[in-house]
Amino acid sequence: MRVLVTGGAGFIGSHVVAELLARGHQPSVLDLAPPEPPGPGVEWTVADIRDPAALARAVRGVDAVCHQAAKVGLGRDFADAPDYVSVNDHGTALLLAAMAGAGVGGLVLAGSMVVYGEGRYDCVRHGRVRPGPRAPGDLAAGRFEPLCPGCGAELTPGLVEEDAPADPRNVYATTKLAQEHLAAAWARSTGGRVISLRYHNVYGDRMPRDTPYAGVASFFRSALERGLPPRVFEDGAQRRDFVHVEDVAAANAVALAGLGEVPAGTLRAYNTGSGEPHTVGEMARALALAFGGPEPVVTGAYRLGDVRHITASSARLRDELDWRPRVAFDEGMARFAKSPLR
Binding-site ranges for ligand NAD (CB under 6 A)? 7, 9-13, 31-33, 48-50, 68-72, 87, 91, 110, 112, 176, 199, 201-202, 208, 215
Smallest separation (angstroms) from ligand NAD to the CB of 299: 22
Identify which of residues 126 and 342 has a Cβ nearer to Zn ion in the complex: 126
**Choosing among Zn ion, ligand NAD, none, which partner's interface includes residue 11 (Cβ < 5 to 8 Å by kind)?**
ligand NAD
Write down the least CB distance from residue 202 to ligand NAD, Å: 4
Q: What's the min distance (Å) between Cβ of 70 and ligand NAD?
A: 3
The listed partner (Zn ion, ligand NAD, none) that binds 126, CB under 5 to 8 Å by sort, is Zn ion
Residue 156 found at the interface with Zn ion (CB under 5 A): no
87 is in the binding site of which of Zn ion, ligand NAD, none (Cβ under 5 to 8 A by kind)?
Answer: ligand NAD
* 32 contact, one of Zn ion, ligand NAD, none, CB 5-8 Å limit per kind: ligand NAD
CB 263 within 8 A of CB 227: no
Given the complex with ligand NAD, which of 35 and 265 has the nearer CB atom? 35
**What is the Cα–Cα distance from 306 to 143, expressed in whole angstroms?**
14
At closest approach, how far in Å is the CB of 311 from Zn ion? Answer: 21
Q: What are the φ/ψ torsions at residue 88 (nearest 5 degrees)?
A: -80, -40
Minimum CB–partner distance for residue 131 and Zn ion (Å): 10
335 binds Zn ion (CB under 5 A): no
Residue nearest to ligand NAD (CB): 10
What are the beta bridge partners of residue 230? Answer: none
State which residue, 69 or 155, has the beta carbon closest to Zn ion. Answer: 155
Contact 314, 271 (CB under 8 A): yes
The residues with which 46 forms a beta bridge, in sequence order, are 31
Q: Give the nearer residue to Zn ion in terms of CB position, either 151 or 328.
A: 151
Among 22, 46, 135, 151, binds Zn ion (CB under 5 A): 151
Per rule CB under 5 A, is residue 39 in the interface with Zn ion? no
SS (H, E, C) the chain: CEEEEECCCCHHHHHHHHHHHHCCCEEEEEECCCCCCCCCCCEEEECCCCCHHHHHHHHCCCCEEEECCCCCCCCCCHHHHHHHHHHHHHHHHHHHHHHHHHCCCEEEEEEEHHHHCCCEEEECCCEEECCCCCCHHHHHCCCCCCECCCCCCECEEEEECCCCCCCCCCHHHHHHHHHHHHHHHHHHHHCCEEEEEEECEEECCCCCCCCCCCCHHHHHHHHHHCCCCCEECCCCCCEECEEEHHHHHHHHHHHHHHHHHCCCCEEEEEEECCCCCEEHHHHHHHHHHHHCCCCCEECCCCCCCCCCCCEECCHHHHHHHCCCCCCCHHHHHHHHHCCCCC
Residue 148 interaction partner, one of Zn ion, ligand NAD, none, beta carbon < 5-8 Å per kind: Zn ion
Q: Which is nearer to ligand NAD, 139 or 202 (CB)?
A: 202
Q: Is 123 in the site for Zn ion (CB under 5 A)?
A: yes
Judged by CB under 5 A, does residue 148 bind Zn ion? yes
Total site size for Zn ion, rule CB under 5 A: 7
Q: Confirm or reject binding of residue 127 to Zn ion (CB under 5 A).
A: no
Q: CA–CA separation, 297 vs 303, rounded Å?
A: 17
Q: Which stretch binds Zn ion (CB under 5 A): 42-50, 77-85, 150-158, 166-174?
A: 150-158
Which residues of the shown chain bind Zn ion in the complex (CB under 5 A)? 123, 125-126, 148, 150-151, 153
